[in-house]
Amino acid sequence: MYGAWGLWLGVLATVLAVWGDALVAVLVFGGAAAVAALSAGYMVVSDRPGDPPRMLGEASAAPPVLAAGVVLAANGLAFGLWLILIGAELIAFGTGLAIAERRRARAR
């Protein structure tokens, strides 16, 4: 990633050097390209520490769906009944998801 960024900045510095007459911009882009290239080289050479094992928490889709429904219904006050109805539909769908998740959790 850093290598590609350094290459892109090097191309920009070269284009500015050929067709531009601003020395400061060429130096800034050239310096940034050099720093990015050095960072990429360091990341290739150095050892990466192992990632700790990741634990997946319990996630629910119901709260974001409910929140989107409330936001759409509230915006429907300004934009019309059609948006209120879409928000109400999302609220109903999110409530159904929450009920289904609760029932599934009780069954365990």
Question: How would residue 79 be classed by pLDDT, with cut points 50, 70 and 90?
Answer: very high
Q: Is 20 exposed, middle or buried (0-12, 13-18, 19+ CB in 10 A)?
A: exposed
Mean pLDDT computed over every residue of the chain: 88
Whether the predicted pLDDT of 26 surpasses 80 = yes
CB-CB contact of 1 with 36 (8 Å): no
Query: What pTM, to 2 d.p., does this model score?
Result: 0.48
* 90 token code pair: 């999302």
64, amino acid identity? P
Q: Residue 80: its pLDDT value, please?
A: 92
Which sign, positive or negative, has the C-alpha torsion 17, 19, 21, 22?
A: negative
Identity at 98, one-letter amino acid code: A
- What token pair was written down for 92? 């109903």
